[in-house]
Amino acid sequence: MPTEPASTAALEAARKLAGRVCAGERSAISQALNAVDDNRASSREARLALLDAVSPQARGVRIGVTGAPGAGKSTLLDALVSGLRDRGRSVGVLAVDPSSQRTGGALLGDRMRLSASARDAGVFLRSLAARDQLGGLSEVTGPSLDIMAAALDYVFVETVGVGQSEAQVIDVVDTLVFVAQPAAGDLIQFMKAGILEWPDLFFVNKSDLGDVATRAAAELRAGLDLGHRRDPDRVPPVLSGSARDGLGIDELIEALDEHTGYLKTSGIGEARRRQGRIARIEHALEVRYGRFGLATLGSETEVRAAIAAEPGASVDRVVDVLSSRIEAALCEHDEEKGRRGA
């Protein structure tokens, strides 16, 4: 990684920006989100300084909303945002667009599904292209959530999920909600895909369609009793309602709050954040250097130890530090090969 020295002025500006983010200033949130997305080498130090300053303050509750295409995630978010605004809480929404194109371009177009009542000053929306990452989440999802969670009470991230992406979303959120469509056969698909393992809460949407929703909820409950679960001590609640008609939203908000409380008192929340941090760091390094590069850091426990050695630092900072180590190791390895070849 080429390193360019950042001016002290730039670092100072980054810290100032962090302060404004934590104070919930709207233009600062936006600027900070731009900054974490800025991948110029010259911006690197400022970006890391910003994230180092913001990450420890990122206290907002992070909630992932996932589910099959068209399940009603955006509609549900609209209802949730309105509900939370009624309760006086500030809300951020990060909409990850799945359609990454070979052109690099993307059409981000879901935000105005949010009704006018959900578009007031206490709501911040940012859409993000999935870019070229496999599995659906772009690398800036984590840092973006850090920024938003430092400024807002609740931060939601919407991803289209059927498999793959859930396993990644859980690294960046506290609670994962799965929105299910009451369609026949879907459930079996979910179980096969191993999706039911991850969510902390299920919301069977479109209850206005009648019996199918009730049946789907019952099936889901039965399925959950049998299958693997991420948290073995807790059977995730299965709620149902209609995002379109605003039914079951209060109950969902209560269930989310209940889960937030549970994460806190049980200590599971803290443990998840720690694990998530490690997973994000490993994932970022693996994407850049592959399994082989990651292995130059030593065994899994050694990697964890290295991460633990930087407790206050942001994920990106640790990635940065470890990247230099991997690069040095790879470089040595290449030289070694060169010598032997000669």
Partner 1 sequence: MSSIDSRPERDRPWMFRTYSGHSSAKASNALYRSNLAKGQTGLSVAFDLPTQTGYDSDHPLSRGEVGKVGVPICHIDDMQVLFDEIPLEKMNTSMTINATAAWLLSLYIATAERQGTDQGALRGTTQNDIIKEYLSRGTFVFPPEASMRLTSEIVSYTVDHVPNWNPMNVCSYHLQEAGATPVQEIAFSMANAISILDVVRAMPEVDDETLSRVFGRISFFLNAGIRFVEEMCKCRAMNLLWEEIGRERYGITNEKMLRLRYGVQVNSLGLTEAQPENNIIRIALEALGVTLSKKARTRSLQLPAWNEALGLPRPWDQQLSLRTQQILAYETDLLEYGDLFDGSHVVEAKTNALLDEARGELQTILDMGGAVTAVENAYMKQKLVESQTDRLRAIEAGELTVVGVNEYVEAVDSPLVEEGAGAILKVDESAEREQIQSLEAFRNRRNTADAEAALKNLEDVIKNGGNIMAPSIAAAKAGVTTGEWSQVLRDVFGEYRAPTGVVAAPVAEASEDVSQVRKRVDELSTTLGRRLKILVGKPGLDGHSNGAEQIAVKARDVGMEVVYDGIRLTPQEIVQSAQDEGVHVIGLSILSGSHGVLVTDVVEQLKNEGMGTIPVVVGGIIPDDDADKLVAAGVRRVYTPKDFDLTRIMDEIVDVVAESNAD
Ligand X SMILES: Nc1nc2c(ncn2[C@@H]2O[C@H](COP(=O)(O)OP(=O)(O)OP(=O)(O)O)[C@@H](O)[C@H]2O)c(=O)[nH]1
Selection from Mg ion, ligand X, partner 1, none that 101 binds (CB < 5 to 8 A by kind) is partner 1
Q: Does 72 help bind ligand X (rule: CB under 6 A)?
A: yes
CB of 211 to ligand X, least distance (A): 14
Kindly report the number of other CB atoms within 10 A of residue 162's CB atom.
17
Rule CB under 5 A: say whether 74 interacts with Mg ion.
yes
Residue type, 199: P
- The answer to whether 16 contacts partner 1 (rule: CB under 8 A) is no
Give the CA count within 13 Å in the CB-facing half-sphere of 68. 15
- Pick from 155, 179, 180, 176: which is nearest to 166 by CA? 176
State the nearest-atom distance from the C-beta of 72 to partner 1, in Å: 11
- The amino acid present at 288, given as its one-letter code, is R
The token duo for 292 is 């082989």
Task: Determine, following the binding rule CB under 8 A, whether residue 340 of this chain makes contact with partner 1.
Answer: no
CA neighbor of 219 nearest in space, from 191, 181, 187, 189: 187
Structure tokens at 125: 């929306």
Q: Decide: is 75 part of the binding site for ligand X (CB under 6 A).
A: yes
User: Is 115 an interacting residue with respect to partner 1 (CB under 8 A)?
Assistant: yes
Which segment (22-30, 79-87, 176-184, 293-301) binds partner 1 by CB under 8 A?
22-30
Contact 209, 172 (CB under 8 A): no
Q: Does 168 bind Mg ion (CB under 5 A)?
A: no
Q: How far apart are CA 13 and CA 45, in angstroms?
A: 11
Tell me the residue number closest to Mg ion, measured at CB: 74
Quote the distance between the C-alpha of residue 133 and its chain's center.
14
Please pick, from the candidates 15, 111, 215, 229, the single residue that binds partner 1 as defined by CB under 8 A: 111
CA–CA distance, 147 with 55 (Å, rounded to integer)? 7
In the block, which residue shows the tokens 């000669």? Answer: 342
Cα 52 from chain centre: 18
**Chosen residue from 45, 78, 97, 110 binding Mg ion by CB under 5 A:** 110
Residue in the block written with tokens 């990122």: 58
Kindly tell me which residue out of 19, 70, 227, 261 binds partner 1, with binding defined by CB under 8 A: 70
Q: Which residue is nearest to ligand X (CB)?
A: 72
Distance, in Å, from the CA atom of 11 to the CA atom of 1, rounded to the nearest integer, reads 19
106 near partner 1, rule: CB under 8 A = yes
Q: Does 240 bind ligand X (CB under 6 A)?
A: no
Give me the half-sphere count of Cα atoms (radius 13 Å) on the Cβ side of residue 323. Answer: 17
Distance CA 250, CA 75 (A): 15
By beta-carbon proximity to ligand X, the closer residue of 69 and 298 is 69
CB 239 within 8 A of CB 201: yes
* CB nearer ligand X, residue 72 or residue 269: 72
**Interface region with ligand X, contact rule CB under 6 A, candidates 45-53, 65-73, 124-132, 268-276:** 65-73
Rule CB under 8 A: is residue 116 a binding residue for partner 1? yes
Give residue for tokens 């209060």. 250
- Selected from 43, 55, 159, 207, the binder of partner 1 by CB under 8 A is 43
320 binds partner 1 (CB under 8 A): no
Site residues for partner 1, 86-105, by CB under 8 A, read 97, 99, 101-105
Binding site for Mg ion (CB under 5 A): 73-74, 110
Binding site for ligand X (CB under 6 A): 67, 69-75, 110, 160, 205-206, 208-209, 242-244
Binding site for partner 1 (CB under 8 A): 26-27, 29-31, 33-34, 37-40, 43, 70, 97, 99, 101-113, 115-116, 119, 124-127, 129, 131
